[in-house]
Amino acid sequence: MVADEATLPTDLLRSVLGTDAEPSRRVRVGGWDAASEAGRREQNEDAWGHQYGTFVVADGMGGRPGGAIAARSAVEASLDVFTRDEVVHPLDWSHRMGLVNDAVTAAGSRAGHDRVGAAIGIVQCRDDGVVISHVGDVRVYRLRAGVVELLTRDHSVVHEIRAAGVDPAELDATAGRLGALTSFLGEADTWRQHSLRFVDRRTDDRFVICTDGVYRSMRAADWIALSEIRECRALADAMVERARTNSSRDDRTALVLSLAGPR
């Protein structure tokens, strides 16, 4: 079964702020691994990394120069600013995402590129739950008890149109780029539409962070079949292989992590 889930902002604030005197995000991750390969481009413009229970995947925007630089700097900066403290206050998350954006812009400038861009997805594991954040169209899924849940909503023109209650199929596709991102890292203000949410955690939950080169070629039946694979490396490899088999031309990256029981 593939399902979507919504979390109210009040749930987010209450959960992230927590009720314990000294909440901690230092958790045991049962396992994790990633698979990534280049698509039609000369180099892979996806990047990924992890540190202290924080996992990040970034997708450099292929329509701009320096996509690989943007993705790599987005991952490095995220792992820096979001792992400095035990718990990042939700009201401080926006400020730190701005620091990540500044780092991406600066990296592009040092490489001689005035306009770079990257989408990013972040999963931060804590004892009391999991923080999910993203900018652009890197997606985060949760696999739990046979159900695959999409935990993010793309920041793109087509998703904004759907949110407004309009069927994109009724629009003239030539009138504009429906797949264009409405939020991404690399410019002064485009990152501000970033999303932040908190979800509960259960033993044996698995999370998948993946770029559009993977999920755009995945059908519901593919998700259901692949979700039966328990080992993180095997699942990440299988997702990238399925994307390749289904003729995905984009760079393909899947990072899979599983949660362990409480300490």
The predicted-structure confidence for 57-95, as pLDDT tens digits, reads as follows: 999 987 677 899 999 999 999 999 999 877 777 788 999
pLDDT tens, residue by residue, 153-190 = 999 887 777 666 676 566 665 555 767 888 999 988 88
Residue extents of the structural domains in the chain:
2-18+25-259
Q: Domain 2-18+25-259, what fold?
A: Phosphatase 2c; domain 1 (3.60.40)
pLDDT tens, residue by residue, 96-134 = 999 999 999 999 999 888 889 999 999 999 888 899 999
Q: In degrees rounded to 5, what are phi and psi of residue 65?
A: -70, 155
pLDDT band for position 260 (50/70/90)?
Answer: confident
> Minimum mean pLDDT among 18-27, 103-112, 168-177, 222-231: which range?
18-27
Helix segments in the chain, DSSP class H: 9-17, 67-81, 90-110, 157-163, 212-215, 220-226, 232-245
**What span, in angstroms and rounded, lies between the C-alpha atoms of 133 and 204?**
21
Side-chain-side CA neighbours of 145 within 13 Å: the count stands at 3
Answer with the residue of higher pLDDT: 135 or 88.
135
The rounded percent of the chain whose pLDDT value lies above 90 is: 55
pLDDT band for position 197 (50/70/90)?
Answer: very high
pLDDT of residue 22: 40
pLDDT of residue 168: 59
**What span, in angstroms and rounded, lies between the C-alpha atoms of 82 and 85?**
7
Contacts of 160 (CB under 8 A, 6+ apart): 182
- Measured CA distances, 155 to 6, 114, 119, 146, 152 (Å): 16, 22, 9, 27, 9
Decide if pLDDT at 199 tops 70. Answer: yes
**What span, in angstroms and rounded, lies between the C-alpha atoms of 41 and 209?**
21
